[in-house]
Amino acid sequence: MMKRFGIALLACAMAAGTASLTAQTVSSGLRGPTPLNDEGPAPPMLPNRNTSERESRNYPEQPPVIPHNIDGYQIDLNGNKCLSCHARARTAESQAPMVSITHFMDRDGQFLASISPRRFFCTECHVPQNTATPPVSNDFTDIDTLLTRASPGGRR
Amino acid sequence: MTTTADEPNEKLKDKRGFILRCWDFARELWGVLSRPSTVFALGTLVLAGFAAGVIFWGGFNTALELTNTEKFCTGCHEMKDNVFAELKSTVHFTNRSGVRATCPDCHVPHNWTDKIARKMQASKEVWGKIFGTIDTREKFVDHRLELAAHEWARFKANDSLECRNCHSADSMDITKQSPRAAVAHQRFLFTGEKTCIDCHKGIAHHLPDMRGVPGWQ
């Protein structure tokens, strides 16, 4: 008798549980109040940062970000619009920073006369920056800050 | 037997007769045209000539303008599937204010004499259409550098006139431009050192193989 009552109670509890689960709207900061089975409206597209001013790198190995628009810049087998300013021979006229010498190196560490084919497609590593505020906060601390914090007064 | 033998002669006689009749008609026409009119008043002739002139000149220009539309250009698959398809993703086809450039805005001079000169050159393009010079994607890609080079040369020679029909250097507000564009325009455009096409290649269509083109790698 008790056992049967227990089963009935459990069934009731499970039914109530599923009902409350389906009624619940799962909301997170990233996707907003849209229910999980619906697709929310896309946020508006924002313009790129277009200051043409260099931005500091977060760590020395970071590929520098592109501080200007690159809409419609063709980079393919036929040509590379980026190199029209950033190639060695073009920098005097364009006053743009030259492509790093590491980009002339092939996979065996040999320096070639011009950009190595494996470094030809700029946007594989270098990207323009959007003006959107990041939806997720970032607590990255760069190495200089860490070192200063380790020894206040600055002995490095 | 005799009838069959006579037939060619009969035909020849007919033919000669036709040519002779044509010759007679031509001589008669010349006679009418070279003598003063005896039937129509001078005023009638002048007015009729004026009306006919308006009709023919207007008709000529209307027909010419019909060949100066995007619809006409993209009537051929060579243009529709290659260059026009490429244009669709660029700022000259779609942009925030909805002002757009059609094919003749950039590729046909707006000035009348230059337009006629370009239209006469374009007879070569009719030849190309008839003989299928670029009737497949592969053939088009093979000819792309040559075709692009023609347009670059034309823009270079007329100081990018078709760009400047809309983009006037005098009306450019460089404070509204990005810093990079403002510096470049001040240094190269306003001083006349370079013209639009020198830097702005491949803005409306994909580029051909750019090796050896000045300013390109």
Q: pLDDT tens-digit profile of B98-143?
A: 999 999 999 999 889 999 999 999 999 999 999 999 999 999 999 9
Residue of B nearest to A90 (CA): B215
- Tens-digit pLDDT profile for residues B154-163: 999 999 999 9
Q: Coil, strand or helix: which one is A112? A: coil
Quick check: A25 pLDDT over 80?
Answer: no
Q: What is the mean pLDDT of chain A?
A: 84
Report CB contact under 8 Å: A72, B90: yes
Mean pLDDT, rounded, for B160-189: 93
Q: In this model, does residue A40 exceed pLDDT 70? A: yes
Closest CA to B163 of B191, B199, B119, B118: B199
- Check A78 against B91: CB less than 8 A apart: no
Complete DSSP assignment for A37-75: TS-PPPPPP-PBP--------SSTTSPPPB-S--TT--E
Rounded to a whole number, what is the distance in Å from the CA of A83 to chain B's nearest CA?
6
Is residue A51 within 8 Å of A67, Cβ to Cβ? yes
Q: Which residue do the tokens 């008609």 mark?
A: B25
| pLDDT category of residue A32 using cuts at 50, 70 and 90 | confident
Beta bridge partners of A105: A111
> In this structure, what token pair is assigned to residue B53?
């002139």
Length of chain A: 156
| Percent of all residues in chain A with a pLDDT value above 90, rounded to a whole number | 55
Least Cα distance to B165 among B110, B112, B102 occurs for: B110
A112 φ/ψ sector (left φ>0, alpha ψ -120 to 50, else beta):
beta
Q: Residue A132 is which amino acid?
A: A
CA distance B210 to chain A (A): 5
Q: Does the pLDDT at position B2 exceed 50?
A: no
Residue A48 has φ and ψ, to the nearest 5°, of: -80, 155
Q: Is there a contact between A68 and B180 if contact means CB atoms under 8 Å apart?
A: yes
Give bridge partners of residue A66 from the DSSP assignment: A128
Interface membership of A47 toward B (CB under 8 Å): no
Which of B207, B215, B217 faces A74 most closely, judged by CB atoms? Answer: B207
Report, as an integer, the average pLDDT of A16-39.
Answer: 67
Spatial neighbors of B217 by CB under 8 A, at least 6 apart, are A79, A80, A83, A84, A87, A90, A114, A115, B210, B211
Cα angle vertex B182, ends B176, B183, to 5°?
A: 160
Residue A25 Cα distances to A32, A36, A146, B93, B129, angstroms: 10, 8, 41, 43, 63
Q: Of A140-154, B123-137, B145-159, which gets the smallest average pLDDT?
A: A140-154
ipTM here: 0.74
Cβ(B99)–Cβ(B105) below 8 Å: no
In chain A, positions 110-129, which contact chain B (CB-CB < 8 Å)?
114-115
Is the model's pLDDT at A128 over the cut of 90? Answer: yes
Q: Which one of A51, A72, A79 has the shortest CB-CB distance to B210? A: A79
The percent of chain A in helix, strand and coil, each rounded to the nearest 5, is 35, 10, 60
Please check the confidence at residue A154 and state whether its pLDDT lies above 60.
no
Residues 6+ apart with CB under 8 A from A115: A83, A87, A99, A103, A104, B217
Q: Tell me, yes or no, if B180 comes closer than 8 A to chain A by beta carbon.
A: yes
Interface of B with A in 43-102 (CB under 8 A): 89-91
pLDDT at A23: 47
Chain B contact set for A69 (CB, 8 A): 178
Whether the CB of B191 is below 8 Å from some CB of chain A: the reply is: no
Which of B90, B91, B208 is the closest to A78 by Cβ? B208
Element (H, E) at A75: strand A75-76
Residues of B in contact with A77 (CB under 8 A): 209
Residue count (chain B): 217
DSSP-H helix ranges across chain B: 2-34, 42-66, 70-73, 77-78, 84-87, 103-107, 112-121, 123-130, 137-157, 161-164, 179-184, 196-199
Contact criterion met (CB below 8 Å) for A52 and B182: no
Q: In this complex, do B217 and A72 lie within 8 Å of one another by their Cβ atoms?
A: no
| Alpha carbons B16 and A62: distance in angstroms, whole number | 91
Question: What is the spatial distance between Cα A124 and Cα A72, in angstroms, rounded to a whole number?
Answer: 16
pTM for this entry: 0.76
Give chain B positions within 8 Å (CB) of A51.
179
Between B72 and A147, residue with greater pLDDT: B72
